[in-house]
Amino acid sequence: MAIRKKRKGLQNNRNDLIFYCIIMAWPVLQFAVFYIGVNFNSILIAFQDIDIVTNSYSWTAKHFVNGFEKMLSPTQLTMAKNSILAYLITICTSIPLGLLFSYYIYKAMPGAGIFRVILFMPSIVSSIIMVSMFRFFTTDAFPAMMRDFFDITMKAPLDDKSTRFGTVMFYNIWVGFGTAVLMYSNKMSTIDPAISEAASIEGAKGFSEFWYITLPLVFPTLSIFLITGMAGLFTNQINLFSFYGVSAPESVQTFGYWLFREAKRATKDGLAGYSELSAIGLLLTFIAVPLTLGMRMLIEKLGPSED
């Protein structure tokens, strides 16, 4: 009896293992090709000097040297400045505003239900639609309104060099606000009401409840925003492609925008252009990885504990 049971158990284990191998085969293969393979290929391409005429290549490190020199050019330094500014502006505005207003929704204050639906709107509408409406409004309607109502003659904010980056960032914060509020309020809604009630009995109400109870409990979500924001430092396009297509002014470009645009250009021009782009991508990865991991460590060290 015991032997039969043992044999059945072994048979079950073997069946489980076969089933496990079958369901994991595709995901692992896909990951091996499209993550490990692609990134390994990216490293190889960065070291290749491709001759599109003979379709041959030789190994070289010149793309890193060229890429590094390029990264120190005024144009790319502006991109670095814009990329960092975009991250800082986003975390300094979206996070506090998002947390504050999500607390309003979480506390089921007047109109919370309807605001939840409205705030969700920007996340489901394509960025190209939202940007198009915003762009045409700021380009056509806004200067006309300023002229007619306030007698102020002005250039369209997206065309004026001094206001275009601010306008693009305003749009990003304006649209991202809704998503941030929803994410935080959804996380807050998982807080056991007994905790807030207990805090209330202890005298923690309003701001103190928010600061000592709610904030530590939503900190995991907050940390995701901080870490993924840092991870996306050099890939964030701040919707520039939707605003300007392939011809964004240099003064507003970020690395994320530039890399995407150049990848498309390289596809048109042939594979030779990929090498330098991959080299610059790798150089930027070397900067972004320690920054992101550092941010994660900092958050784990300084952030409050859910307990």
Q: Which amino acid is at 199?
A: A
Q: How far is the CB of 96 from another protein (least distance, A)?
A: 13
- Per-residue binding string, another protein, 148-177, x by CB under 8 A, is --------------------------x--x
Mapping DSSP onto H, E and C, the string for the chain reads CHHHHHHHHHHHHHHHHHHHHHHHHHHHHHHHHHHHHHHHHHHHHHCEEEECCCCEEEECCHHHHHHHHHHCCHHHHHHHHHHHHHHHHHHHHHHHHHHHHHHHHHCCCCCHHHHHHHHHHHHHCCHHHHHHHHHHHHHHHHHHHHHHHHCCCCCCCCCCCCCHHHHHHHHHHHHHHHHHHHHHHHHHCCCCHHHHHHHHHCCCCHHHHHHHHHHHHHHHHHHHHHHHHHHCCCCCCCCHHHHHCCCCCHHHCCHHHHHHHHHHHHHHHCHHHHHHHHHHHHHHHHHHHHHHHHHHHHHHHHCCCCC
Based on the shown chain and the rule CB under 8 A, indicate whether residue 245 belongs to the binding site for another protein: yes
- Per-residue binding string, another protein, 9-48, x by CB under 8 A, is ---x--xx--xx--xx-xxx-xx-xxx-xxx-xx--x---
For another protein, the binding residues in 281-300 under the rule CB under 8 A are 281-282, 284-285, 288-289, 292-293, 296, 300
Q: How far is the CB of 268 from another protein (least distance, A)?
A: 9
Q: How far is the CB of 90 from another protein (least distance, A)?
A: 16
Based on the shown chain and the rule CB under 8 A, indicate whether residue 52 belongs to the binding site for another protein: no
User: Using CB under 8 A, which of 241, 252, 253, 254 touches another protein?
Assistant: 241
Q: Which stretch binds another protein (CB under 8 A): 52-60, 87-95, 127-135, 160-168?
A: 127-135
Please give the Cα distance from 64 to 42 (Å, whole number): 13
Tokens of 305: 């504990």
Based on the shown chain and the rule CB under 8 A, indicate whether residue 235 belongs to the binding site for another protein: yes
Based on the shown chain and the rule CB under 8 A, indicate whether residue 136 belongs to the binding site for another protein: yes
Based on the shown chain and the rule CB under 8 A, indicate whether residue 186 belongs to the binding site for another protein: yes
Q: How far is the CB of 117 from another protein (least distance, A)?
A: 6
For another protein, the binding residues in 191-210 under the rule CB under 8 A are 193, 196-197, 200, 205-206
Based on the shown chain and the rule CB under 8 A, indicate whether residue 66 belongs to the binding site for another protein: no
Closer residue to another protein in complex, CB, 89/291: 291
User: Using CB under 8 A, which of 64, 101, 180, 240 touches another protein?
Assistant: 101
Q: How far is the CB of 146 from another protein (least distance, A)?
A: 11
User: Using CB under 8 A, which of 58, 126, 153, 162 touches another protein?
Assistant: 126
Q: How many CB atoms lie within 10 A of CB 257?
A: 24
